[in-house]
Amino acid sequence: MQQATERLSGHHPGVTESGEQGATWGSVSDTALEARHLFKVFGKNPNQAVRRLEAGETRADVLDAGTAAVIDASFTVKRGEIFVVMGLSGSGKSTLIRMLNGLLPPTSGEVLIHGRNVTTAGPRELRQIRRESVSMVFQHFALLPHRSVIDNAAYALEIQGVPRAERLERARVLLDKAGLAEWADARPDELSGGMRQRVGLARALTAGTDVLLMDEAFSALDPLIRREMQQQLVELQQELGRTIIFITHDLNEAMFLGDRIAVMRDGRIVQNGTPEEILTDPANDYVAQFVQDVDRTKVLTARTVMEPPHLTTPVSAGVRGALRVLREQQARAVFATEGRRLVGVVTDRAVIRAVKAGQTDLRAIVDQSVLTVGPDDLLTDIVESAVESPVPLAVVDGARRLVGVIPRVTLLATLGNVEPSTRELPVVQTPIDMVAEFTPLVDEAAAVPAQTSSEGGQE
């Protein structure tokens, strides 16, 4: 399904290709959860505060009536999506997520999960929705200390009244996926913090609900273990196709996990978009500042930075066609194409030699070993090729059609935004040779007889 493909090809490096599972949800309604104009005000006069906010007053204006923790939040989460809510401390994230499963009643607005209205549900229906549709994972997975790991993992099923043998069986499957099979009979206090979090995750997954709400679930972990958990969550999500709403104040975590990210500020969602959209087109200065330190190369793909391929010549136009393009564009190399397919690259030197030797067939001088990248390749994986390539990088699709090019200047400009401490990329220290790459074809070209007026250049 779309989602899984996006994730695989998009911003999750190193994730194994096991995303077919997402297809399970294809036939059902596409929407897992919908929040409509949610407000939550704590204090004396919540309803009055909402009316005033709706009339245009600010959060500060209505302080006398109460603290507006969430203001007019609306969004839709698709099935199988990881939807991240990100914002600084106090921006309203926890309040928002608690309204989603009915832990907190909204002051105004409503929440639908799989089309069922959580906000208007009575206690019985709410319990049913929680049992069937939505589980919550907290920052500290409150494990039951006197129960074994597997009993903890099976706890939600126990509450659902699932017979013991069956629930242990189902819990074992998830423990196994979480890499904890051999710890099934241990007590929680025998495990490390990261392992305990994984038991908590297994417990939430064992419950079998589609929607998982995770509030700062990895924030208490040290960075390495945290990274591992993020990887594992993405893998489990791909395999199981669950819908995850994940809260974090860590931008890199948000960028790594999120199919979409909602950025909150002072109770409001100020932007809701893909990681790429948030990086490349921040809705306001607040978001722009928030994202300025992100390692863009791990989020942006070739598609985002590529440019239309202008420097092309059809093989059928021959050596002269290539020469003409090189001159007109003052370039040192040109991509040779056949239809839209990339055949290879032709350098000015090769063309000049061919012209001198009276050769006309372009195919004979095309260098077919040209490096190519895919539109969905992450910049972080491209940089090395770019450094080695004497010409702009060719971006080709699955049918080897030339869909774009990435000049090294573009790549360097993008790298310029990378915080040095967060990168493990080869640092490009010689922008000087870029200059050479883009210098016009002077000396040698001048030596070539001017006989390039033939037709049949570009299509």
Ligand X SMILES: Nc1ncnc2c1ncn2[C@@H]1O[C@H](COP(=O)(O)OP(=O)(O)OP(=O)(O)O)[C@@H](O)[C@H]1O
Please report whether residue 344 would count as binding ligand X according to CB under 6 A. Answer: no
Percentages helix, strand, coil for the chain, rounded to the nearest 5?
40, 20, 35
- The region of 88-96, 149-157, 194-202, 237-245 touching ligand X under the rule CB under 6 A is 88-96
Residue 335 tokens, joined: 């991509």
Residue 200 interacts with which of Mg ion, ligand X, none, CB < 5 to 8 Å by class: none
Please report whether residue 139 would count as binding ligand X according to CB under 6 A. Answer: no
249: left (phi over 0), alpha (psi -120 to 50) or beta: alpha
Nearer to ligand X by C-beta: 90 or 374?
A: 90
Residue 69 interacts with which of ligand X, Mg ion, none, CB < 5 to 8 Å by class: ligand X
We find the least distance from the C-beta atom of residue 94 to Mg ion, in angstroms, to be 3
Radius of gyration of the chain (CA): 28
Cα-Cα-Cα-Cα dihedral sign, residues 222, 422, 291, 36:
negative
- Residues in contact with ligand X, counted by CB under 6 A, come to a total of 12
Q: What's the rounded Cα separation, in Å, for the pair 420 and 425?
A: 9
Please report whether residue 101 would count as binding ligand X according to CB under 6 A. Answer: no
Q: What's the rounded Cα separation, in Å, for the pair 385 and 396?
A: 14
**Residue whose C-alpha is closest to residue 231's, from 206, 198, 208:** 198
**Residue whose C-alpha is closest to residue 206's, from 139, 151, 144, 126:** 151
**Chain residues in the site for Mg ion (CB under 5 A):** 94
Please report whether residue 212 would count as binding ligand X according to CB under 6 A. Answer: no
Residue 134 interacts with which of ligand X, Mg ion, none, CB < 5 to 8 Å by class: none
What dihedral angle (degrees, nearest 10) is formed by the CA atoms of 38, 39, 42, 48?
-150
- The region of 16-24, 89-97, 179-187, 309-317 touching ligand X under the rule CB under 6 A is 89-97
Q: Which residues in 220-259 contact ligand X (CB under 6 A)?
A: 249
Residue among 19, 38, 73, 94 that touches ligand X (CB under 6 A): 94
Residue 447 tokens, joined: 């030596």
Please report whether residue 67 would count as binding ligand X according to CB under 6 A. Answer: yes
Q: What's the rounded Cα separation, in Å, for the pair 285 and 292?
A: 10
Residue 249 interacts with which of Mg ion, ligand X, none, CB < 5 to 8 Å by class: ligand X
Please report whether residue 69 would count as binding ligand X according to CB under 6 A. Answer: yes
Q: What is the three-class DSSP state of 368?
A: coil
Residue 144 tokens, joined: 């039951």
Q: What's the rounded Cα separation, in Å, for the pair 143 and 154?
A: 11
- The region of 85-93, 227-235, 303-311, 421-429 touching ligand X under the rule CB under 6 A is 85-93
Nearer to ligand X by C-beta: 67 or 232?
A: 67
Nearer to ligand X by C-beta: 118 or 264?
A: 264
- The region of 44-52, 87-95, 287-295, 428-436 touching ligand X under the rule CB under 6 A is 87-95
Nearer to ligand X by C-beta: 73 or 350?
A: 73
Asked if 98 and 174 count as a contact pair (C-beta separation under 8 A), the reply is no
Please report whether residue 438 would count as binding ligand X according to CB under 6 A. Answer: no
Summarize as ranges the residues that interact with ligand X (CB under 6 A): 42, 67, 69, 87, 89-95, 249
